[in-house]
Amino acid sequence: MKNEKLLKATKYVGASILLTGIAIFLYGFFVSDYSYITGIGIGTVMGAVFIFLMGVFLVATEEMNSNRKTWR
């Protein structure tokens, strides 16, 4: 697989942002009295999932394009 670097980078960035978002959410839900911190945590988790899905989509698209060129 040619795009292994991009997939690993996407995985590590997505995982680190996901863990940060979970920590912010848990802090906002259990510790803090301010409700907007919980929303920031939820938004961060959603952003991490979006970043991961976009990275996987880009890797899959590049693989499909490289496989298509070999058939012609």
In a domain, 71, yes or no: no
* Span 17-70, pLDDT tens digits: 999 999 999 999 999 988 899 999 999 999 999 999 999 999 999 888 887 766
Q: Residue 59's domain spans which residues?
A: 10-64
What is the number of structural domains in the chain?
A: 1
Establish if 3 belongs to a structural domain. no
Q: In this structure, are residues 18 and 2 in contact, taking their beta carbons and an 8 Å threshold?
A: no
Residue 27 falls within a domain, yes or no?
yes
Helix spans in the chain (H): 4-26, 36-71
Residue 32: inside a domain:
yes
Residue 57 lies in a domain: yes
Query: pTM for the complete prediction?
Result: 0.85
Instruction: Please give the Cα distance from 55 to 17 (Å, whole number).
Output: 14
Residue 26: inside a domain, yes or no?
A: yes
